C-alpha cells in the first residue's frame, strides 16, 4: 500500500534544504511482513518522524516496532534520490495516512514553487544598467547564490530609490519597507546591518565588511622629490618641449642661411651659426634677448612665434606649479578624522540621511561629535555619493563615506586618495522577512562563497584599479600634450611659414641673378644653396670676389 503526499510551503521550507524545493514529495510506504521476526542486530525501537502538513514541522519521537509489519517514511529529494526517514508501527502509519490527507487538503492553500522577487537599488558598482539589463556586484552575487541554492528570481529596482529608514510615522521606506510589506522576498544591495534594521527584518551573514573613512585629493607634500620642479608637465610634455626646442633652433639656423638678408659672407662671422641659433632661442625661454636679432621677414616671423610659444609655456608651467603647491599645503596635515575635525581649510561632509550621518549624530566620541556639529553648522551634506566624489575632485572638500565605495572612486580617479583610518566597522548583508527560512540557506551559501574565494573574485572584478602603480596626484594633474596641443600647432605653423618665406626670398634673389648673369633660375638657385651649405669658405670668397667685380 502506497500513500504519497505532496505537501509544502514556500514560507516554511526546511532550512536544511534548498528554498527551491517548494513542492516536496513525501511518501509513506506500508509493507507487511507476517513471518519476519525482528533481526537480532537491530534495536526494537526505531526513531520516528510524525507526518504533518509541512516537512518543516516534522517532529522526532520514539515508537515500538511491530515485528509483523513496518511503515517506512521516505523523502524524495528533487526526484533524484530517496532517503529513508524512519520506521513506525502500523497503527501510527494509519495516523500518518490521516495526516497525509490533511496535507492534501491544505496543499492548495500553500504557495507552490515560485520565483523569488528581489529588490535592489542602483549604485555603482553594485547594480548598474546595461541597456535593458542590470549588472554589477550584487547581480553577480544573486546569480551565484541561485546556482548554489537552485532558486529562480526576478530583480526589481526599489520604487523610492532608498535603502530603508524609519520615518516619523513608524513606517519603513526603501528596500526594507518593501521586504516588510511582502512586496519583495529579498533585498540584495549594500545594506548596512544596523540594530534598527535587524528589528524590522532578518539579515544574513555579511557578504562584505567595511567601515567609515574619507576621500580627498592626494597629499604629496610628504614626498620630497628632488625633481619636483618637473611635476607641472607630464613626461610626454617635456619630450614635446625638447623636440620643439631642437626643431626651432635648427629652423632659425636654416632661415638665417637661406634668407638673403641674413646671409652675409663678407662679414667677419655669421650671426646665426648653429650654436648661436640655440643660444638665441634659449634666451627667449628666460625672457631675455640674446642678440643680434634676425633682420629678415622670415627670421623675425620664426623668432616671434618662438617667443609667443615660450611665454605661454612659462605661464602654463608656473600656473600649474602654483596650483600643485597650494593643494599640497591644504592637505598636508589631514591624515585621520582627528586632523579633519581640527582644521578649517577644506570643508567635509557626507550623504544626508544616510547611515554615515546617523553614526556621527549618535556618537559620543568628541571627535565625531565635532565633525557632526561642523556638518550641521555649515550644511555641508551632499545628496548622493557621486556628488561627494565630484566635490572631492575639486580639491576643497573631503567626502566621508563607507570605505568600500571610496576605494572604488580612488581606483578610478588617480587624483583621489582614501584615508587609511577606518572607524565604525560595519557590514553589508541580505535582508529577508522576519522568520524567513531563506536566511539560513543564504547564510550557508554566502559562507561557502567566501571560503571558496568567490567573493574575493567579485570584489576584484568590480573594484578595478585604473591607476598605475606609483602614479600620484602630481602626475595625474600634470599638463600633457593634449592640454597644450594648440600651442604646439601654432609653433609648427610658424616655423613652416618662416621657412617658406625664406625660400621665397632666396628664389627672388636667384631670379634676379639669373637675369643679370643670363642663366637659368634653377642654376642660379642651386649656386646660391651650394654657397650656403656646401661651398664653405671657398664659396663665400667667390661671392665676395663677384661682388667686388661688380
Q: Where are the alpha helices (DSSP H) in 436-484?
A: 438-451, 454-462, 473-477
More confident of the two residues 509 and 375: 375
pLDDT at 466 over 80: no
Position 253 in a domain: yes
Last residue of a domain, one of 48, 82, 109: 109
Span 361-370, average pLDDT: 93
pLDDT in tens, 253-287: 898 888 888 776 655 555 678 888 898 888 888 87
User: Quick one: how many helices (H) and strands (E) in the chain?
Assistant: 18, 17
Domain boundary among 109, 133, 158: 109
- For residues 166 and 172, the answer to whether their CB atoms sit within 8 Å is yes
The 10s digit of each residue's pLDDT in 377-402 is 989 999 888 899 999 988 789 999 98
Best mean pLDDT range from 57-61, 249-253, 319-323, 481-485: 249-253
Can you tell me the distance from the alpha carbon of 433 to that of 321, in angstroms, rounded to the nearest whole number? 57
- Please say if the pLDDT value at position 89 is more than 70: no
pLDDT band of residue 113 (cuts 50, 70, 90) is low
The tally of CA atoms less than 13 A away on the side-chain side of residue 70 is 20
- Mean pLDDT, to the nearest integer, of 118-140? 91
Q: Mean pLDDT throughout 190-217?
A: 92
pLDDT digits (tens, 9 = 90+) for 473-511: 455 567 888 888 999 999 999 999 999 998 888 888 877
449 belongs to a structural domain: no
| Residue at 237 is within a domain | yes
Would you say residue 385 lies in a domain? no
DSSP letters of 370-428?
Answer: HHHHHHHHHT--BSSHHHHHHHHHTTSEEEEEEHHHHHHHHHH-TTEEE-S--EEEEEE
Using the predicted structure, report yes or no on whether residue 308 has a pLDDT greater than 90: yes
Q: What is the CA radius of gyration of the chain?
A: 42
* CA atoms of 541 and 496, how far apart (whole Å): 31
Whether residue 359 has pLDDT greater than 80 = yes
Q: Return the pLDDT at 267.
A: 58
> What are the E-state strand segments in 295-445?
347-349, 397-402, 416-418, 423-432
Q: What percent of the chain has pLDDT over 70?
A: 69
267: in domain = yes
150 pLDDT higher than 80: yes
Residue 435 has pLDDT above 80, yes or no: yes
**The pLDDT of residue 176 is above 50:** yes
Report the C-alpha gap between 75 and 78 in whole angstroms.
10
3-state secondary structure of 88: strand
Domain boundary (75, 109, 143) is at 109
In a domain, 232, yes or no: yes
Confidence band, pLDDT 50/70/90 cuts, at residue 147: very high
- Helix H or strand E segment including 527: helix 521-533
| CA distance linking residue 67 with residue 137, whole number of Å | 59
Q: Mean pLDDT, the chain, as a whole number?
A: 75
Q: Report if residue 544 sits inside a domain.
A: yes
Record the cell numbers describing residue 183, joined without a space: 512586496
- Lowest-pLDDT choice from 131-135, 159-163, 233-237, 520-524: 520-524
Residue given cell 526494537 in the structure block: 44
Whether residue 100 is contained in a domain is answered as: yes
Q: Is the peptide bond before 125 cis (omega within 30 degrees of 0)?
A: yes
* Structural domain for 244, as ranges: 228-328+483-549
Has residue 14 got a pLDDT over 60? no
DSSP state of 479: B
Domain count for the chain, please give it.
2
Contact 87, 68 (CB under 8 A): no
Average confidence (pLDDT) over 157-165 = 90
Amino acid at each position: 500500500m502506497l500513500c504519497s503526499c505532496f505537501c509544502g510551503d514556500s514560507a516554511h521550507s526546511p532550512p536544511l534544504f534548498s528554498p527551491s524545493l517548494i513542492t516536496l514529495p513525501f511518501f509513506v510506504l506500508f509493507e507487511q511482513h507476517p513471518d519476519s521476526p525482528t533481526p537480532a542486530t537491530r534495536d526494537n525501537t526505531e526513531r520516528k518522524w510524525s507526518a504533518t502538513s509541512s516537512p518543516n514541522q516534522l517532529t522526532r519521537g520514539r515508537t515500538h516496532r511491530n515485528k509483523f509489519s513496518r511503515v517506512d517514511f521516505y523523502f524524495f529529494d528533487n526526484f533524484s534520490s530517496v532517503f529513508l526517514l524512519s520506521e513506525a508501527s502500523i497503527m501510527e502509519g494509519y495516523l500518518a495516512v490521516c495526516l497525509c490527507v490533511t496535507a492534501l487538503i491544505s496543499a492548495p492553500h500553500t504557495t507552490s514553487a515560485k520565483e523569488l522577487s528581489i529588490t535592489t537599488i542602483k549604485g555603482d558598482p553594485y547594480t548598474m544598467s546595461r541597456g535593458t539589463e542590470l549588472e554589477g556586484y550584487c547581480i553577480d552575487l544573486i546569480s551565484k547564490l541561485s546556482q548554489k541554492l537552485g532558486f529562480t528570481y526576478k530583480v526589481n529596482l526599489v520604487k523610492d530609490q532608498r535603502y530603508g529608514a524609519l520615518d516619523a510615522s513608524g513606517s519603513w521606506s526603501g528596500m526594507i519597507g518593501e521586504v516588510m510589506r511582502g512586496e519583495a522576498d529579498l533585498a540584495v544591495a549594500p545594506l548596512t546591518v544596523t540594530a534598527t534594521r535587524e528589528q524590522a527584518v532578518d539579515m544574513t551573514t555579511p557578504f562584505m565588511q567595511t567601515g567609515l573613512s574619507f576621500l580627498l585629493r592626494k597629499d604629496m607634500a610628504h614626498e620630497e622629490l628632488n625633481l619636483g620642479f618637473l611635476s607641472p608637465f607630464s613626461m610626454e610634455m617635456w619630450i614635446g618641449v625638447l623636440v620643439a626646442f631642437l626643431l626651432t633652433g635648427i629652423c632659425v639656423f636654416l632661415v638665417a642661411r637661406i634668407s638673403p638678408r641674413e646671409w652675409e659672407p663678407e662679414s667677419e662671422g655669421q650671426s646665426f651659426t648653429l650654436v648661436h641659433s640655440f643660444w638665441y632661442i634659449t634666451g627667449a625661454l628666460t625672457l631675455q634677448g640674446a642678440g643680434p636679432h634676425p633682420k629678415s621677414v622670415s627670421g623675425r616671423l620664426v623668432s616671434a612665434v618662438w617667443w609667443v610659444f615660450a611665454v605661454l609655456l612659462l605661464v602654463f608651467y608656473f600656473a600649474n606649479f602654483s596650483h600643485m603647491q597650494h593643494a599640497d599645503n591644504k592637505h598636508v596635515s589631514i591624515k585621520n578624522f582627528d586632523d579633519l575635525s581640527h582644521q578649517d581649510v577644506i570643508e567635509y561632509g557626507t550623504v544626508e540621511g544616510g547611515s554615515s550621518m546617523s553614526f556621527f549624530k549618535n556618537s559620543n566620541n568628541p571627535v565625531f561629535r565635532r565633525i557632526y556639529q561642523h556638518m550641521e553648522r555649515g550644511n555641508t551634506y551632499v545628496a548622493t555619493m557621486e556628488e561627494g566624489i565630484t566635490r572631492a575632485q575639486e580639491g576643497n572638500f573631503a567626502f566621508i563615506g563607507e570605505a568600500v565605495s571610496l576605494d572604488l572612486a580612488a581606483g578610478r580617479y588617480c587624483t583621489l586618495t582614501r584615508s587609511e583610518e577606518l572607524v565604525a566597522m560595519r557590514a553589508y548583508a541580505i535582508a529577508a522577512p522576519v522568520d524567513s527560512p531563506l536566511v539560513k540557506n543564504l547564510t550557508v551559501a554566502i559562507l561557502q562563497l567566501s571560503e571558496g574565494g568567490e567573493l574575493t573574485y567579485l570584489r576584484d572584478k568590480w573594484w578595478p584599479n585604473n591607476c598605475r602603480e606609483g602614479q600620484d596626484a602630481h602626475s595625474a594633474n600634470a599638463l600633457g600634450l593634449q592640454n597644450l596641443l594648440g600651442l604646439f600647432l601654432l609653433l609648427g605653423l610658424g616655423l613652416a611659414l618662416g621657412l617658406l618665406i625664406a625660400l621665397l626670398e632666396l628664389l627672388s634673389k636667384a631670379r634676379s641673378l639669373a637675369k643679370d648673369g643670363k642663366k637659368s633660375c634653377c642654376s642660379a638657385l642651386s649656386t646660391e644653396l651650394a654657397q650656403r651649405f656646401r661651398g664653405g669658405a671657398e664659396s663665400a670668397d667667390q661671392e665676395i670676389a663677384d661682388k667686388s667685380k661688380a
